[in-house]
Amino acid sequence: MNSKIVETEKLSRVFVVGSEEIRAVDRVDLTIAKGEFLAIMGPSGSGKTTLLNLIGCLDRPTGGRVLFEGRDTSGLREKDLDLLRLKKVGFIFQTFNLFPTLTALENVIFPMMIAGTASRQGDRRARELLSWMGLSRRLGHYPRQLSAGESQRVAIARALSNEPLLVLADEPTGNLDSRSKEEIAMLLRRINSEYGTAVLLVTHDPGVAKVADKVLRMIDGRIGDRP
Ligand SMILES: Nc1ncnc2c1ncn2[C@@H]1O[C@H](COP(=O)(O)OP(=O)(O)OP(=O)(O)O)[C@@H](O)[C@H]1O
Ligand SMILES: [Mg+2]
């Protein structure tokens, strides 16, 4: 069995803007093992979001490649990439990105519906996840009726709904007060240790990064262990 979920090989993403080339991600070799919890820190513009988007197959590299469970993703068609994202990866963003017209419960059920999970099973799992997040009393709330910390917990429940192998979190605590920040960091820690889900967490906050097993530094599109 392959214990690596993701392996990047000389992964690069160059953006061309006018006559300028921006090497947002520059020949990155990174491995994420099953159940691993990695954090990435680095200055604004160093390529962290671009790297997450490549690993999550939301964007395609201009050089190098991403292997997902040993499989080269560069040859995959859009349809297969959609399926891979839906079933294997959970995304969490700074701005939560909940569907405003769906309740908390419906937001969590949604990805399972798309994946073809039976509706009773989806409903049960969504309730379980939300109760695990301490949100049993918020099931019928719309995103505008939730606090920032609650919104992020719903978003995390949604990211976990299809039991992903990997959670990609891009500054998930960026819009939260210090107490919610700590709660969300600890929640990611618990998800990792109790479900064995691998986590790749981008953060500017050293206090949040320290819940990870290992902190990597990204500078000018390149990645290295913290000195
Ligand atoms: N679609 C795009 N077109 C052109 N340039 C882009 C695009 N996306 C990102 N960039 C550039 O690539 C570089 C890396 O951007 P990225 O968003 O990955 O940085 P980041 O490390 O996530 O920064 P932050 O901490 O501010 O979120 C930046 O210089 C940015 O301007
Ligand atoms: Mg970013």
Strands 37-41 and 89-93: unpaired
What is the C-alpha to C-alpha distance for residues 110 and 162, in angstroms, rounded to an integer? 10
- In sequence order, what DSSP letters do the residues of 82-124 get, joined into one string? HHHHHHHEEEEETT----TTS-HHHHHHHHHHHTT--HHHHHH
Mutate to test the pocket of ligand 1, among 11, 13, 23, 48 (most ligand atoms within 8 A of CB): 48
List the CATH number of the domain containing 74. Answer: 3.40.50.300
User: Ligand 2 centre from 185 Cα, in Å?
Assistant: 18
Rounded percentage of the chain residues whose pLDDT exceeds 70:
98
Residues with CB under 6 A from ligand 1: 15, 17, 22, 24, 42, 44-50
d(CA 6, CA 56): 10
Percentage of the chain modeled with pLDDT above 90: 97
The rounded distance, in Å, linking the Cα atoms of 170 and 188 is: 12
Number of domains, the chain? 1
Instruction: List the strands of the sheet with 166-170, edge to edge.
Output: 89-93, 166-170, 198-202, 37-41, 214-219, 222-225
pLDDT exceeds 60 at position 1 = no
Q: Name the closest ligand to CA 170.
A: 2
Q: Which ligand is nearest to the CA of 41?
A: 1
Q: Cα(205)–Cα(69) distance, rounded to whole angstroms?
A: 30
Nearest-CA residue for ligand 1 atom 2 is 15
pLDDT beyond 60 at 217? yes
Domain range spanning residue 158? Answer: 4-225
How far is residue 31's CA from residue 192's CA, in Å, rounded to a whole number? 17
Nearest atom (ligand 1) to Cα of 13: 12
Over residues 71-103, the pLDDT tens digits come to 999 999 999 999 999 999 999 999 999 999 999
Distance 49 CA to ligand 2 centre (A): 4
Take atom 28 of ligand 1 and give the residue whose Cα is closest: 45
pLDDT for residue 73: 96
Gap from CA of 31 to ligand 2 centroid (Å): 20
Nearest CA owner, ligand 1 atom 26: 44
pLDDT of residue 226: 47
pTM of the model: 0.95
First to last CA, the chain: 32
Mean residue pLDDT of the chain comes to: 95
Q: What is the pLDDT of residues 25-66, one digit of tens each?
A: 999 999 999 999 999 999 999 999 999 999 999 999 999 999
User: What local confidence, expressed as pLDDT, does residue 86 receive?
Assistant: 96
Distance from residue 40's CA to the centre of ligand 1 (Å) = 15
**pLDDT at residue 143 tops 50:** yes
